[in-house]
């Protein structure tokens, strides 16, 4: 039987890469999906892949650095698909700068998307899950969060932060039937 039958999963960064793969995998396991990304063309492509797999998809432009977009995605999932049982924070960016060349602007952008964006999306999802019997939140880290790589100071640091953030959220939500991985 399908492991996610009749569940609803929200996914940021759903237009490409890991986010898109998560959407297709969730649909294959029986989930309906609410998809968010800044790339609306890619979003439509992912939605088509999901509907081809026989599941429902709703889409919403999501910039994770804004205060409102991820709340809109949660509300869309609940309003159009009937709930929110899973959340995948997959929106992420990487830039390549040596330590001496790194600008503050580029550093902040990586942190804003990869750490803050991920956190506040998970927070919105968790708010719904706490009130509605729990769920599962998945963050996307990287081996670069555990291993130093040249030219990737901001990216490596951001993914190390994601690993710790995931552990803190898992600890905090453990007694509220929300798994965080």
Do 80 and 6 form a contact (C-beta atoms < 8 A)?
Answer: no
What's the CA gap between 10 and 43, in Å, rounded? Answer: 13
- Kindly write down the DSSP assignment for every residue of 74-136, as one continuous string: HHHIIIIIS---EEEE-------B-TTT--HHHHHHHHIIIIIIHHHHHHHHHHHHHHTT-EE
Do 65 and 113 form a contact (C-beta atoms < 8 A)?
Answer: yes
What's the CA gap between 15 and 49, in Å, rounded? Answer: 11
Cα 7 off chain centre by = 16
What's the CA gap between 82 and 133, in Å, rounded? Answer: 14
144 in active site = no
| Active-site residue (options: 87, 119, 120, 155) | 155
Catalytic positions are 155
């Amino acid at each position: 039987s399908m492991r996610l039958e009749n569940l609803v999963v929200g996914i940021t960064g759903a237009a490409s890469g890991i986010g898109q793969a998560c959407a297709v995998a969730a649909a294959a396991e029986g989930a309906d999906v609410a998809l968010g990304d800044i790339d609306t063309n890619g979003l439509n492509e992912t939605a088509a892949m999901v509907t081809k797999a026989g599941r429902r998809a709703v889409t919403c432009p999501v910039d994770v650095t804004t205060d409102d977009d991820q709340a809109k995605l949660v509300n869309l999932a609940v309003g159009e698909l009937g709930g929110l049982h899973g959340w995948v924070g997959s929106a992420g960016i990487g830039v390549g700068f040596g330590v001496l060349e790194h600008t503050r602007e580029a550093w902040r952008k990586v942190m804003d998307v990869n750490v803050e964006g991920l956190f506040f999306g998970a927070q919105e999802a968790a708010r719904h899950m706490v009130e509605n019997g729990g769920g599962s939140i998945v963050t996307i880290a990287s081996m670069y969060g555990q291993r130093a790589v040249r030219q990737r100071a901001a990216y490596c640091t951001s993914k190390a932060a994601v690993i710790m953030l995931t552990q803190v959220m898992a600890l905090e939500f453990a007694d509220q039937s929300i798994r965080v991985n």
